[in-house]
Amino acid sequence: MDVDAIVAALTVEEKAALCLGSDFWHTAPIPRLDVPAIMVSDGPHGLRAQPNESDHVGLSGSLPATCFPTASALASSWNPALFGEIGRALATEALACGVSVVLGPGVNMKRSPLCGRNFEYLSEDPWLAGELAVAMVNGVQGLGIGTSLKHFAANNQETDRLRVSADVDERTLREIYLPAFERVVTKARPWTVMCAYNKVNGTFASEHHWLLTAVLRDEWGFTGLVVSDWGAVHDRVAALTAGLDLEMPPNLGVSDRAIVTAVEHGRLAESVLDTAATRVLRLVSAAETALAPHASFEADAHHALARRAAHESAVLLKNTGNVLPLRPRAGETVALIGEFARTPRYQGAGSSQVNATRIDNALDEVTRLVDPSVQVTFGDGTIDAAVELAGSADHVVLFLGLPASTESEGFDRTSIELPAAQLELLSAVAAAHDRVVVVLANGSTVRIAPWEHEVAAILECWLSGQAVGGAVADLLLGVANPSGKLAETIPVRLEDNSSYLNFPGDSGHVRYGEGSFIGYRGYDAAHAEVSYPFGFGLSYTTFSVSDVSVHVHGSVGADLHVDVSASVTNTGSVAGAEVVQVYVADLESTVTRAVRELKAFAKVALEPGATDRVTMTLDERSFAFWSIVHSRWAVEAGEFELGVGTSSRDLADRIVISLDAPSLAAPLSVMSTLQEWLADPRGSELLRSLDTTGALNSDELVRVIGTMPMDTLAGFPGIGFDHAMLRSMIEQL
């Protein structure tokens, strides 16, 4: 397709038409120039292709597709290669359905455990989310299908999501809410980015020039297309001017008319329209692969992949006395209690809802896996019957979690507790059996502290896709070994979460008052006890991390990179996988910084007794903060601690390195304080030459007046310098 020639041949009306879809899921065709329409479909963990139906909240049907583990589950795998595999599977299904762009992944940060859409998002940590999403985008796009990185930006709650203004300072945006987008844009070049519904600091994301153009395109070099979230456009011309190319779904007859009128009246430069039309045509051109007929996908193979993915997504939180894996002997009884054992909750509601090709349940799969002499009994969770089952069973597995009605796109949760009826069931069953295993199904963190002492083992499975039943059976019986790690902290109480006082806001605003201290950054800074820390997860085997070494290459501003190596040994008796994590702490800083931040990780699969040596590389950005004084990333000279371990709170080794870096101090001015002048060698020398009384040698005096700007001090009698002398000192500097 000769895009430039087509744009040159288009009328203003046709260009305007291209900047809107033609219906809910298609771009606008231009038949006279042989421009086809292409189809886009949700979503992040499975396709929701609706060739004949249209809604963006998952109410109507869609073609059968594989429902992979949702983002919060899959992120717990900490396995980019798995994301790549699932990306390829999504692309294969998209090809089979004639879909050109998959609307995902979603890389919004989990600011609060209450966000109703957390199940669609990856993590509370931008580095982890970014790395995993890069792999997924590469997987999808490697097969000629586009992705839509969403929701750009600061879409971290469902309450009032179409109007609320996320009020967030630039440093927090740069360090927490934008980096996952930045990483994916710069490393994987997604074909499209989807703008968020909400406002950011008072401006709709769909009209946010700074986000959509200054940052996304000018700084990060994005060359793809920006599409609106479904219904996010309020002023089509303002959105176009800000950098939003494609409005979905199209407000036909209104938005196209507004664009044409604005061009006619000179309120919109036609060149802006040309640019957007060019981007739409480039997308259509890139997407042509999907328009050719393709064979249907292999549903069984994808189901098997979904099962493997669900293995890796499960996080073993507790396993007292190695109660797991279960080893039922001939003639023993295994009781599975809770409706989720028979009717799994495996995905969340809303636009990401997949019409699964098939659904496994744990009851059937456990029954299939155990020796025929083992009796598998089931109770749906009626308390008296459950107690009776548990009392007479050798092994008891209790299936708990959140009902579908409590977490969904469109609204937030108001609590992180399990439903009261489930807690009652849990206590009753735990009183009847001393080694109860709990299997959890929930899209975002639930509170565990009040009841964890009542049970022997907890396997957090999140919403783990259509094959979760088989995967849970494999994990319970040791056919698979858990290797998931928490991508979000499990707090002791909701109130310990740093966003607690500012979520979800009111009166049209949500203030990100905690700044960059979300997730583990908040709990660590507050020294808060947590139930299970970020990065945590047990295995049926044990590992040691040893021989950590660090090599610094280059220097700040000159290709700094730091290699961190560690040996990982499987010290137990079964094969398993461990995730080695590297956290960076800035030990000397003039700005407030997190206690530690994840900057690298590697997942290592090992046979019993085997050792592997892994090397992870940190770049300059790993040590940087966003300087609001300098409006750029900056590394401050001083000591940094590199903590290497298997969770944010279990560091096997900590190595301190020292980095040299140019001073970040602002040049001295009349508004610099006395302390700042004294800290500067030249400034101090000049000042001291005027200090005939030796007052500057008095620590006490300097402490009291040291924070005053020189301009103020110059006005005080007896201080030793006046405004003229201050100006002269500045000239000398």
Among 56, 447, 521, 593, binds ligand BGC (CB under 6 A): 56
Residue with tokens 């996010």: 232
Does 229 help bind ligand BGC (rule: CB under 6 A)?
yes
Question: Is 55 one of the annotated active-site residues of the chain?
Answer: no
Binders of ligand BGC among residues 86 to 105 (CB under 6 A) are 103
Closest approach of ligand BGC to the CB of residue 280, in Å: 17
Cα separations in angstroms, 129 against 71, 265, 488, 489, 532: 10, 44, 11, 14, 19
Round the CA-based radius of gyration of the chain to a whole number and report it.
29
Among 77, 118, 157, 351, binds ligand BGC (CB under 6 A): 351
For the record, the structure tokens of 268 come out as 């919109």
Closer by beta carbon to ligand BGC, 41 or else 672: 41
Cβ(338)–Cβ(472) under 8 Å? no
Closest approach of ligand BGC to the CB of residue 114, in Å: 17
Does 42 help bind ligand BGC (rule: CB under 6 A)?
yes
Closer by beta carbon to ligand BGC, 195 or else 582: 195
What sign does the CA torsion over 195, 196, 200, 205 have? positive
Cα separations in angstroms, 570 against 145, 225, 517, 543, 602: 39, 46, 34, 5, 15
Residue type, 191: W
Task: Please name the residue ranges forming H helices in 10-122.
Answer: 12-18, 71-75, 80-97
d(C-alpha 499, C-alpha 450), whole Å: 22
DSSP structure class, residue 628 = T
Element (H, E) at 303: helix 299-313
Closest approach of ligand BGC to the CB of residue 616, in Å: 32
Binders of ligand BGC among residues 494 to 513 (CB under 6 A) are none
Residue with tokens 């203004």: 165
DSSP 508-547: TEEE-TTTT--THHHHHHTT--EEE-TT--B-SS-EEEEE
Among 88, 150, 318, 485, binds ligand BGC (CB under 6 A): 150
Closest approach of ligand BGC to the CB of residue 351, in Å: 3
Closest approach of ligand BGC to the CB of residue 103, in Å: 4
Closest approach of ligand BGC to the CB of residue 467, in Å: 24
Half-sphere exposure of 263 (CA within 13 A, CB side): 18
User: Who contacts 371 (Cβ-Cβ below 8 Å, separation ≥6)?
Assistant: 328, 330
**Catalytic entry in 160, 229, 256, 680:** 229
Closer by beta carbon to ligand BGC, 107 or else 486: 107
Cβ(625)–Cβ(171) under 8 Å? yes
Binders of ligand BGC among residues 383 to 422 (CB under 6 A) are none
Closer by beta carbon to ligand BGC, 252 or else 655: 252
Task: Please name the residue ranges forming H helices in 214-291.
Answer: 236-242, 255-264, 270-286
For the record, the structure tokens of 10 come out as 């288009």
Closer by beta carbon to ligand BGC, 408 or else 499: 408
Closest approach of ligand BGC to the CB of residue 254, in Å: 19
Per-residue mark of binding to ligand BGC, 651-690 (x: CB under 6 A) = ----------------------------------------
Element (H, E) at 383: helix 383-392
Closer by beta carbon to ligand BGC, 103 or else 178: 103
Cα separations in angstroms, 209 against 189, 261, 627, 630, 633: 20, 21, 21, 21, 21
d(C-alpha 382, C-alpha 402), whole Å: 17
Per-residue mark of binding to ligand BGC, 101-140 (x: CB under 6 A) = --x-------------------------------------
User: Who contacts 250 (Cβ-Cβ below 8 Å, separation ≥6)?
Assistant: 20, 21, 22, 23, 28, 256
Closest approach of ligand BGC to the CB of residue 136, in Å: 15
Closer by beta carbon to ligand BGC, 92 or else 155: 155
What sign does the CA torsion over 136, 140, 143, 148 have? negative
Binders of ligand BGC among residues 320 to 339 (CB under 6 A) are none
Closer by beta carbon to ligand BGC, 101 or else 476: 101
Closer by beta carbon to ligand BGC, 14 or else 229: 229
Closest residue by Cα to residue 378 from 423, 370, 367: 367
d(C-alpha 250, C-alpha 182), whole Å: 28
Closest approach of ligand BGC to the CB of residue 410, in Å: 8
DSSP-assigned beta bridge partners for residue 227: 194, 246
For the record, the structure tokens of 295 come out as 């064979």
Closest approach of ligand BGC to the CB of residue 44, in Å: 8
Among 78, 127, 181, 230, binds ligand BGC (CB under 6 A): 230
Does 26 help bind ligand BGC (rule: CB under 6 A)?
no
- Rounded to whole angstroms, the maximal C-alpha distance in the chain is 97
Closer by beta carbon to ligand BGC, 248 or else 686: 248
Q: How many residues bind ligand BGC (CB under 6 A)?
A: 8
d(C-alpha 99, C-alpha 602), whole Å: 33
Pairing of strands 165-167, 199-200: parallel
Closest residue by Cα to residue 309 from 44, 56, 24, 40: 44
Binders of ligand BGC among residues 189 to 208 (CB under 6 A) are none
Give ∠ CA 542-547-549 in degrees, rounded to 5.
Answer: 135
Cβ(47)–Cβ(93) under 8 Å? yes
Closer by beta carbon to ligand BGC, 347 or else 541: 347
d(C-alpha 64, C-alpha 62), whole Å: 6
Closest approach of ligand BGC to the CB of residue 133, in Å: 14
Residues that bind ligand BGC (CB under 6 A): 42-43, 56, 103, 150, 229-230, 351
Give the residue numbers marked as catalytic. 229
